[in-house]
């Protein structure tokens, strides 16, 4: 294929704006997948993606398209829309020359739309704006076009960007024209060296039989099976066992040329040897490495433990395998007195945590124990020493602390003017600072806000959706570490049968500790299975018990087999049962099932 006829592009959008549906139509129109094999969300190959109707993992695919008797190779990388997976989007955009910006005509430009547009602009990509769902009666076509125009042009005419396309990804209306515009507007790849291979790794997977399989964008030269190659960062040498393309499943190909997107089988069985952003170059006279990606920083931390000590190695292997397909996951070993050995895991958000947890359960059969999610605090002690605390269990007592620093986020919320009052009240409850507000079109308002990250994690997103009946969207980024006012945050512990459960400990605002204590103890009471003896649940903070609940014991009718006779026989059995329950309460231990830990972190 002539490099002039190659087009590499991504689809970027806010969540639920129709990326996966548009990808389905493109595959259908180009004949990449036979109609009899076509299904919804065909690029969402993970079971969780299909269940939830969201894209979690970016997926590359090659399509062939005929335009004016010229055959074009279209390489699409479908990307996620949820803010927790924006790192996946950034990697996809680095491997392409153009981006289709998809905006739902019924919802208009959302906060995440602005984030991905800025990402695409910073990489110098050609952006093709597309209005989706024009077939719906609630579509606001003209208003949404104005919003897109303002977002992309800052007041310049629409014609400067080649026009905003109108489509319905569901019915296929306008998709053929979009294909023509991709061919016309997205530039072909450029290369400098024809005979010296160089490729950027944007993803990889691990196979027990083929080792590490690199997903690459060829920038120079070509690669075929049998070529001697090297990884720039680790200096690991290997021979390409197989090269190929995505169609959308992996298909062997004779060669990968400059500008193309495909895969290289390395046969390297060491999982940690490959890295996203590394370069693949020739083993002889290699070109310099390409500029890679930023290293994602975890936003949320949670400690993960196996239910039994024997499963520790299985959990380690499972996390290592998951990190091969999700390089934004980080983990390190830790130990807890009550829960034994486990791992401190870093996630990009609460949805990311939930997805990884579910994948560990489904793909590896592990029923793990998860501690309450937390963030990293920097503690300055009275002796001026400093320490980063990521687990509430290690949070020191107030009399040891000189200063506490916590991460803050800058946030952008887009909502309707009539919802401003309830949103402002919600922001006040979550200790937010409102920097500025501005009108965005006739029916939208943008709020620029700063907020502690711990408050964002405290169910803020769900509360925002509930308060605005779904008419709000947000995007955020972590900006700085700020000093917490003296005594501003404290540790809240949960005791079950007078025994501390480290996984339930959390760091909360002093102003909200009583409410949090009541809610946590009440929730645990409702989900903790009843035992053979009564169990006391206590929430402890500020040096005292703040809330207490009791779970009544399971009752067995020990006199059911007795009919008539002297009542003293029944009384003896009741007395014996009472003594047995008392002994159980003194000696018994409450085994908390794994699903209770999961339900406690879910809102």
Residue 475 has pLDDT above 50, yes or no: yes
Proportion of the chain above pLDDT 70, given as a percent:
84
pLDDT for 187? 92
Produce one character per residue of 408-424: b if its CB has 16 or more CB atoms within 10 Å, e if not. bbbbbbbbeeebeebbe
pLDDT for 52? 46
d(C-alpha 465, C-alpha 414), whole Å: 11
418, 400 Cβ separation under 8 angstroms: no
pLDDT for 405? 92
**Residue 479 in 3-state DSSP?**
strand
| DSSP letter assigned to residue 602 | -
**Angle in degrees, CA 373, 378, 384, rounded to 5:** 150
Region label for 163, one of left (φ > 0), alpha (ψ between -120 and 50) or beta (otherwise):
left
The tens digit of pLDDT for each residue in 135-187 reads: 888 888 888 888 888 888 744 444 445 688 999 988 889 999 999 999 999 99
Residue 47 has pLDDT above 60, yes or no: no
Backbone φ and ψ for 83, nearest 5 degrees, come out as: -60, -30
Q: How confident is the model at residue 546 (pLDDT cuts 50, 70, 90)?
A: very high
The tens digit of pLDDT for each residue in 280-330 reads: 898 888 888 777 555 666 777 788 888 777 888 888 888 887 877 677 788
The tens digit of pLDDT for each residue in 274-293 reads: 777 778 898 888 888 777 55
Q: How confident is the model at residue 517 (pLDDT cuts 50, 70, 90)?
A: very high
d(C-alpha 256, C-alpha 242), whole Å: 10
What is the DSSP code string of 346-409?
EESSHHHHHHHHHHHHHHH----EEPPPB--EEEEETTS-EEEE-SGGGPPPGGGEEEEEEEEE
Residue 396 has pLDDT above 90, yes or no: no
Least confident of 190-199, 456-465, 553-562: 553-562
Taking Cα atoms as reference points, which of 205, 219, 307, 178 lies closest to residue 596?
307
- Which structural domains are found in the chain, ordered by start? 3-185 (3.40.50.300), 198-282 (2.40.30.10), 300-370 (3.30.70.870), 378-483 (3.30.70.240), 489-601 (3.30.70.2570)
| DSSP letter assigned to residue 505 | -
Proportion of the chain above pLDDT 90, given as a percent:
17
The tens digit of pLDDT for each residue in 223-263 reads: 999 999 998 887 888 999 999 998 878 889 999 998 898 99
Global confidence as pTM: 0.67
pLDDT for 44? 45
d(C-alpha 158, C-alpha 151), whole Å: 11
Q: How far is CA 482 from the centre of its chain?
A: 25
């Amino acid at each position: 294929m002539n490099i002039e006829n190659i087009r590499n592009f991504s689809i970027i959008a806010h969540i639920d704006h129709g990326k996966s549906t548009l990808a389905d139509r493109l595959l259908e129109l180009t004949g990449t997948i036979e109609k009899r094999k076509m299904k919804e969300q065909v690029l969402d190959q993970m079971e969780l993606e299909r269940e939830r109707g969201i894209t979690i993992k970016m997926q590359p695919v090659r399509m062939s398209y005929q335009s004016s008797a010229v055959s074009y190779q279209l390489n699409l990388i479908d990307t996620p829309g949820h803010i927790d997976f924006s790192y996946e989007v950034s990697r996809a955009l680095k491997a392409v020359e153009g981006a289709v910006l998809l905006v739902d005509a019924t919802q208009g430009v959302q906060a995440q739309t602005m984030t991905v547009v800025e990402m695409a602009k910073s990489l110098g990509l050609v952006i093709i704006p597309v209005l989706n769902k024009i077939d719906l009666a609630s579509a606001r076509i003209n208003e949404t076009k104005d919003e897109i125009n303002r977002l992309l042009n800052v007041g310049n005419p629409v014609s400067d960007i080649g026009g905003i396309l109108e489509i319905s990804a569901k019915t296929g209306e306008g998709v053929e024209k979009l294909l023509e515009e991709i061919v016309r507007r997205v530039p072909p790849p450029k290369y400098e060296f024809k005979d010296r291979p160089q490729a950027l790794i944007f993803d990889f997977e691990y196979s027990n039989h083929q080792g590490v399989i690199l997903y690459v964008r060829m920038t120079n030269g070509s690669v075929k099976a049998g070529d001697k190659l090297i990884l720039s960062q680790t200096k690991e040498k290997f021979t390409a066992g197989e090269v190929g393309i995505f169609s959308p499943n992996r298909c062997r190909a004779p060669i990968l040329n400059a500008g193309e997107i495909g895969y290289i089988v390395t046969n390297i069985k060491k999982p940690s040897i490959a890295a996203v952003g590394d370069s693949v170059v020739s083993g002889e006279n290699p070109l310099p490495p390409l500029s890679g990606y930023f290293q994602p920083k975890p936003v949320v931390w949670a400690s993960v433990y196996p239910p039994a000590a024997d499963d520790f190695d299985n959990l380690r292997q499972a996390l290592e395998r998951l990190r091969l397909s999700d390089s934004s996951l980080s983990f390190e070993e830790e130990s807890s007195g009550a829960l034994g050995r486990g791992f401190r895991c870093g996630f990009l958000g609460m949805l990311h945590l939930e997805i990884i947890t579910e994948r560990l359960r489904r793909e590896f059969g592990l029923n793990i124990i998860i501690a309450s999610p937390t963030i990293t605090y920097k503690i300055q002690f009275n002796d001026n020493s400093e320490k980063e605390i990521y687990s509430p269990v290690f949070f020191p007592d107030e009399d040891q602390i000189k200063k506490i620093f916590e991460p803050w986020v800058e946030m952008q919320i887009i909502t309707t003017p009539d919802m401003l009052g309830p949103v402002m009240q919600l922001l006040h409850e979550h200790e937010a600072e409102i920097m500025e507000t501005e009108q965005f079109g006739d029916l939208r308002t943008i709020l620029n806000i700063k907020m502690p990250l711990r408050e964002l994690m405290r169910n803020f997103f769900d509360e925002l959706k509930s308060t605005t009946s779904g008419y709000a969207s947000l995007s955020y980024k972590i900006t700085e570490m700020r000093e917490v006012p003296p005594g501003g945050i404290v540790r809240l512990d949960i005791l079950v049968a007078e025994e501390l459960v480290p996984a339930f400990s959390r760091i909360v605002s002093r102003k909200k500790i009583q409410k949090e204590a009541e809610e946590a103890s009440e929730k645990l009471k409702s989900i903790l299975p009843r035992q053979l003896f009564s169990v006391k649940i206590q929430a402890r903070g500020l040096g005292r018990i703040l809330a207490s609940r009791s779970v009544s014991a399971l009752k067995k009718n020990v006199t059911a087999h007795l009919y008539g006779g002297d009542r003293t026989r029944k009384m003896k059995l009741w007395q014996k049962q009472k003594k047995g329950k008392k002994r159980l309460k003194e000696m018994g231990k409450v085994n908390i099932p794994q699903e209770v830990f999961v339900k406690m972190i879910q809102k």
